[in-house]
Amino acid sequence: MRGFLAGIFLLVFVIVSALSLRPGGFRNQLRNIARRFKLAMILGGVYLLGSTVLRLAFPNSGLAEIGMVAVAGVLCITFLVLSPDRPLERR
């Protein structure tokens, strides 16, 4: 149990340290993380909806398996295109 708690503390410490070193500051990095998390949740919901529709439309077919892989690939590419860091604001 102590190792688990120490690992959690160490993980948080490393994440905060890494985000603080990146350009733009800690607050900007947290905004980027929040934006990416929202995007991931939306795309995860789209994947669940798409896989459910494919499973219901083609219950005993290999087409559903291929379709789910294709949907996952398209959503991964979508995430990579929509998730880059926002430009830093000039003050």
pTM: 0.74
| Residue 91, pLDDT score | 60
- Of 87, 91, 89, 85, which Cα lies nearest the Cα of 36? 85
User: Per residue in 4-31, pLDDT tens?
Assistant: 899 999 998 888 888 777 777 778 888 8
CA distance 65 to 47: 13
Domain ranges of the chain: 28-82
Element of type H or E holding 5: helix 2-21
CA distance 6 to 44: 31
CA distance 24 to 89: 8
CA distance 66 to 14: 39
CA distance 31 to 85: 9
User: Per residue in 22-72, pLDDT tens?
Assistant: 777 778 888 888 999 999 999 999 999 999 999 999 888 888 889 999 999
| pLDDT over threshold 70, residue 90 | no
| Residue 52, pLDDT score | 93
